[in-house]
Amino acid sequence: MKSAKESIEVDLKELQALLERKREALGEEDYQKLRKGLWALSYLTDLIDDKDTTISQLRALLVKPSTEKTSKVLEQAGLEAAPKSPPSPPPANQKPKPGHGRNGAAAYRGARRI
């Protein structure tokens, strides 16, 4: 069983003030990363506090959708995807395939029209 982690109460304004005090020591690029991370943490905390926020909304916000194309995955792996070839036309001497399996009106010669 996991042990409970110690939680501390910290105000967002305190964290922002701390970040401003350490701005010169961090450098501008690191400062911007931490500032954005702090903003994201604050935003997520507000969303979690909101009782109308669902788990699926949080998941959609935090996790990228998995809509990968095979060609892109192979490209990232350093492999080449096979080029797509157009479908080959049917041979000229082949009969056309039958229709959808239903009989046309001509198949019912003795039927009375309504």
The average pLDDT across 11-28 equals 89
* pLDDT recorded at residue 79: 77
Tell me which of 106 and 83 has the higher pLDDT.
Answer: 106
Q: What's the pLDDT score for residue 60?
A: 82
Say if residue 1's pLDDT is above 70. no
From residue 13, give the alpha-carbon distance in Å to each of 9, 35, 68, 104: 12, 12, 40, 78
CA distance 22 to 50: 32
pLDDT tens digits, 51-102: 888 888 888 888 877 777 877 878 877 777 676 777 777 677 777 677 777 7
Q: What is the dihedral of CA 93, 94, 99, 100, to 10 degrees?
A: -160
How confident is the model at residue 32, as a pLDDT?
92
How far apart CA 26 and CA 35 sit, in angstroms, is: 11
pLDDT of 105 above 80: no
**pLDDT cut 70: percent of the chain above it:** 89
- Between CA 114 and CA 108 the distance in angstroms is 13
13 or 10: which leads in pLDDT: 13
What pTM did the predictor assign?
A: 0.47
